[in-house]
Amino acid sequence: MRSFRLLLCCGLLLGLTAFAAFAAASDDCLACHSDSATVGKAFAINPAIFDTTVHAQLGCPSCHTSVGAGHPDDGLPPSKASCQECHAEVAKEYAASSHHQNAACSDCHNPHQVRGPTEVSGADMNRTCSGCHELAAMATTHTTWLPQADLHIGMLPCISCHTASKENVITLYIIKRPAAARFGRFELAGYNELKALASHGKIEGLIDGNEDNYISLAELRLFNSDQERTGLRLQGMMTPETVTHNFQILANRRDCSFCHASGPAARQTSYLSLATSDGSYRRLPVERGAVLDALYGTPDFYMVGSTRSTALNYIGAVIIAGGLVVPIGHGTLRFLTRRNRANKED
Amino acid sequence: MNSQHRVYLQPTPVRIWHWLNAFGIVTLIVTGVQIRFPEYVVIFASYKSAIMLHNTAGLVVAASFSLWFFYYSFIARNMLKTYVPNEDELRHGILRQAKFYLLTYFLGWPNPHHPTPENKFNPMQKSAYLAIMFVLVPLVSLTGLLLTNVEPLRNLIILIGGLKILVGVHFLLACCLCAFLFTHVYLATLGHTAFAYIKPMWTGWEEEPETEQNAHDEPVSNHR
């Protein structure tokens, strides 16, 4: 038992030493590579973004193994690890899709700015695609078969339909109208804009009033009914939880019922996604079913067929039943008194 | 043998408008049910076809509303007289007509209202059609037009209060129209025969049994 503890301590120490060594090495690299004037724009890295990525934890030497003490005076070009060395499964999946002939990993992903799928906004996901597939042109292409194509392309990451990504949830982002434009278009609000509006400097507090990192329906309603004052609104997007790289055109995504007939039960899960200082996004869970609230849960997000409000259904049923009162009630009395009218006609 | 009193009540443009509306509204209701409850109601082959049909029927009803508005405003020029109850109708007419529907009809008494081309709706009809044609149909059409153009009209939708409010208003107004439809069809069978009020909407002519009041009247027409 004692020897096991000793072994564990040694292992931990080794790990920490290695991590410290890589971190120190990264710091050495960034001392030059954070300054574009020194290394040039193509080799400059923004440490504020890089430091928060998973790749930063590995350290620069993990991928650039050939860089030695003589760099850059030795004149040797630094080696680069291929993505598939670590991401073999993803690479295999991507190689099987038709997309791999058109773009390499680095055409879509900057290894020094990598984020997980839940750490980026839906707009960021589509910005990656729009590097080649201009969004306005894509909206036009989709109008040949997709009703309100511009709306769909604005509210859905492309990968929701063009990969077999799974477990779609509703993600809410804070949007803001530019101060100078009274009737301008609402845009995704950046971290600094939101920080300026937050009373205690914590942007979560704009919605999460009790700061419990959980957005209740009451908090959502309060935020939405106060938007006249704050000028902020929520934009909903349907985003995938599990992302795949098998890019393709899926026949079932052309069947509107794939999303629209999924029923309210499938639209219970939603998150609020907030911009952070490093440019990524942080998610807070939202009370289940909030997207289905009749009016003030998510005033600007509605998926026909899937996010209908049960309360409105009941009110509608009462109205229709009211319309049936006359035919049924009057009709019954009419039938019972039919002899009175027959006698008058005689 | 009962003699008949004939009145030319429904001119051709009104009849075209009415049946366009009827066909359009029934289509809107049926497709609307599938659009709102797609996992339970599958009447049309695909969800998309229900949406496309709903949008097309909506445009037909909006166009037929424009036809109605144009006809009564600029050709017949009797919109206010036809659809807005006057003081006497508000004070006494509505009560008189309600009394007929709720009591004297069952006793076999005649309808107190005798339609003429100038005054074809009874006071209750006038009030109902006023609400339907000047509030319900324009609002359901406008909300529908906004809902089919969400992205281009996003700012206008935000001004109204958001997409959810728009959808809610559209849905509840549609339920009101559906409720009206049941009442409307039933009341259309309350003539001296079940088809007495339905036939004129097809032929234009209403036939009333002779009463003391109209026994000496000549057949009336404003479109011969």
Hey, what long-range contacts does A54-62 have (CB within 8 A, 24 or more apart)?
A54/A114, A54/A116, A55/A111, A55/A112, A55/A114, A56/A26, A57/A19, A58/A22, A59/A19, A59/A21, A59/A22, A59/A23, A59/A25, A59/A26, A60/A22, A60/A25, A60/A26, A60/A29, A60/A30, A61/A22, A61/A25, A62/A22
- Is the pLDDT at B213 greater than 70? The verdict is no
For residue range A46-74, what is the model confidence (pLDDT) as tens digits? 988 898 888 998 999 899 988 888 888 88
pLDDT of residue B219: 40
Chain A contact for B149 (CB, 8 A cutoff): yes
Cβ-defined contact of A296 to B164 (cutoff 8 Å): yes
* Domain map (residue ranges) of chain A: 2-80, 91-292, 310-336
Distance from C-alpha of A233 to C-alpha of B162, rounded to nearest angstrom = 10
pTM, two decimal places: 0.86
Q: Could you tell me how many residues make up chain B?
A: 224
Cβ-defined contact of A323 to B182 (cutoff 8 Å): yes
ipTM of the complex: 0.87
- Computed over every residue of chain A, the mean pLDDT equals 87
For residue range A159-201, what is the model confidence (pLDDT) as tens digits? 988 988 878 899 999 999 887 677 788 889 999 989 988 877 7
Distance from C-alpha of A103 to C-alpha of A131, rounded to nearest angstrom = 11
- Cβ-Cβ contacts under 8 Å, B182 against chain A: 320, 323-324, 326-327
Q: Pick from B55, B163, B172: which is nearest to A301 by CB?
A: B163
- Cβ-Cβ contacts under 8 Å, A298 against chain B: 164
Task: Please report which confidence band the pLDDT of residue A10 belongs to, taking 50, 70 and 90 as the band edges.
Answer: low
- Cβ-Cβ contacts under 8 Å, A345 against chain B: 2, 192
Instruction: Using alpha carbons, list the distances in angstroms from residue A229 to A64, A233, A273, B193.
Output: 51, 11, 21, 61
- Is the pLDDT at B215 greater than 60? The verdict is no
Cβ-defined contact of A327 to B179 (cutoff 8 Å): no
- Cβ-Cβ contacts under 8 Å, B46 against chain A: 255-257
- Give the contacts of A110 (CB within 8 A, at least 6 positions apart): none
For residue range A116-174, what is the model confidence (pLDDT) as tens digits? 888 999 999 999 999 999 988 998 999 999 999 999 998 999 998 898 887 889 999 99
Cβ-defined contact of B171 to A312 (cutoff 8 Å): yes
**Tokens 């219970």, residue located:** A268
Chain B contact for A134 (CB, 8 A cutoff): no
* Domain map (residue ranges) of chain B: 4-209
Q: How far is CA B96 from the centre of its chain?
A: 22
Distance from C-alpha of A158 to C-alpha of A240, rounded to nearest angstrom = 10
Helix axes B137-147, B47-70, angle to 10 degrees: 140
Cβ-defined contact of B175 to A185 (cutoff 8 Å): no
pLDDT of residue B220: 40
Chain A contact for B98 (CB, 8 A cutoff): no
Residue A343 C-beta-side C-alpha neighbours within 13 Å: 9
Task: Please report which confidence band the pLDDT of residue A312 belongs to, taking 50, 70 and 90 as the band edges.
Answer: very high
**Tokens 């030795």, residue located:** A74
- Is the pLDDT at A279 greater than 90? The verdict is no
Contact (Cβ atoms closer than 8 angstroms) between residue A340 and residue B109: no
- Give the contacts of B96 (CB within 8 A, at least 6 positions apart): B112, B123
Task: Please report which confidence band the pLDDT of residue B3 belongs to, taking 50, 70 and 90 as the band edges.
Answer: low
Contact (Cβ atoms closer than 8 angstroms) between residue A26 and residue A57: no
For residue range A91-108, what is the model confidence (pLDDT) as tens digits? 999 998 888 898 999 999
Better-scored residue on pLDDT, B153 or A68: B153
Better-scored residue on pLDDT, A16 or B169: B169
Q: Which amino acid is at A234?
A: L
- Computed over every residue of chain B, the mean pLDDT equals 87
For residue range A216-249, what is the model confidence (pLDDT) as tens digits? 999 999 999 887 777 899 999 999 888 889 888 8
DSSP B51-91: HHHHHHHHHHHHHHHHHHHHIIIIIS--HHHHHS--HHIII
Identify the CATH assignment for B4-209 out of 3.40.605.10, 1.20.950.20, 3.30.360.10, 3.20.10.10. 1.20.950.20
Handedness of CA A60, A61, A66, A72 (dihedral sign): positive
Cβ-defined contact of B51 to A299 (cutoff 8 Å): no
| A232, A306, A320, A345, best to mutate vs chain B, most B CBs in 10 Å | A320
Task: Please report which confidence band the pLDDT of residue A202 belongs to, taking 50, 70 and 90 as the band edges.
Answer: confident
pLDDT of residue B60: 94
**Tokens 């597939």, residue located:** A133
Q: In chain A, positions 144-183, which contact chain B (CB-CB < 8 Å)? A: 147-148, 150-151, 154, 183
